[in-house]
Amino acid sequence: MGSAVETLCGQAYGANKYEMLGIYMQRSTILLMATGVPLAIIYAFSRPLLVLVGQSQDIAKYASIYVYGLIPQIFAYAANFPIQKFLQAQSIVTPSAVISACTVGAHILLSWVVVYELGLGLLGASLVLSFSWWVVVVAQFVYILTTRKCRFTWTGFSVQAFFGLPEFLKLSMASAVMLCLETWYFQVLVLIAGLLKNPELALDSLSICMIISGWVFMISVGFNAAASIRVSNELGAGNPKSAAFSVVAVTMLSCLVSVVIAIVVLCLRGYISYIFTEGERVAQAVSELTPLLAVTLILNGIQPVLSAAADGVVAIFVVNHED
């Protein structure tokens, strides 16, 4: 749902409607915070829900312990995505990168202290993750309040953020459905793996493949953000040809990077799993899954960029409506 603000802010910035960026950010935050409430309830009842869909008691127990600590993260996400897209629409990316890099360093140290020194285990790990996300949120918002780069786009809190919520919700839901269909198949695979004859081996090998895919997917997400902002900026400024050229250029670059990484993964198929585990059976299972993983990496290098291009054009009428 947060991807809608990326489209709207990008087009508003391209059309020189700077004050609307802050309004869109606040509007998106309101909707995402409200959406976080039912999600938090689902998280709270994750253990019986996992058992209900056929997971073993042990898997459900330990998964739910980890999930409980992620409840605060839901609302950190709700605040972070609008803030991040607000900055990206203005081509302000360095502060977010620096903040995230600093937070990662502190996160690693704090995780070690909480998990091993304090002995909080899975719950401690997830609580630290939630805390780290809130640090990122607060730091980015402080930057917005203090930098001169946002003096025209952030004019303070406004009651205007509460107007037009139904229309904004429709666009947000459309973006959410599109993104969920892109990413939920990973979670479906995890559930299916937990139902196999040897769920521990299946989950271990699949988790390694998903981690690798997730790392590579982050590169595509970076291209996704660049494409979406560029397309929405150009469309907002009335330059459709420049927008089309941006889509072609970013898609080709993302595809090339993904192909290179897929080749590297295939060449290291017999060794790559040892980064995560010493188990021979898991390593063999990962090796057998690697060809499928390579295909997935290539497809994930193309699809997010094309999706970003669609995001960039889907809501221009909303920006024009609020002229």
Length of the chain: 323
Q: Report the alpha-carbon distance of residue 261 to residue 212 in Å, rounded.
A: 10
Residue 50: its pLDDT value, please?
Answer: 85
What is the residue-level pLDDT of the chain in tens, covering all 323 positions? 666 777 778 778 878 888 888 999 999 899 999 989 999 999 999 888 888 877 778 888 888 899 999 999 999 999 998 998 899 888 888 899 899 999 998 999 999 999 888 888 889 999 999 999 999 999 999 999 999 999 899 988 988 888 878 877 777 776 677 667 666 766 676 666 666 677 777 777 777 888 888 888 888 777 777 777 777 777 766 777 777 787 788 888 888 988 999 999 888 888 887 877 777 888 888 888 888 888 888 888 877 777 666 665 555 545 455 55
Residue 314: its pLDDT value, please?
Answer: 55
| Helix/strand/coil for 163 | coil
Residue 39: its pLDDT value, please?
Answer: 92
Residue 113: its pLDDT value, please?
Answer: 93
Helix (H) / strand (E) containing 155? none
Residue 185: its pLDDT value, please?
Answer: 66
Pull the structure tokens for residue 259: 């192909």
Q: Report the alpha-carbon distance of residue 202 to residue 274 in Å, rounded.
A: 16
Single-letter amino acid, residue 95: P
Detail the DSSP E strand segments found in 114-171.
Answer: none
Per the listing, tokens 């919520």 go with: 165
Helix (H) / strand (E) containing 226? helix 199-236
The stretches of 147-198 forming alpha helices (DSSP H) are 165-193
Per the listing, tokens 């017999």 go with: 270
CA dihedral 213, 216, 221, 222 (to 10 degrees): 170
If one counts every other C-beta atom within 10 angstroms of the C-beta of residue 104, the result is 12
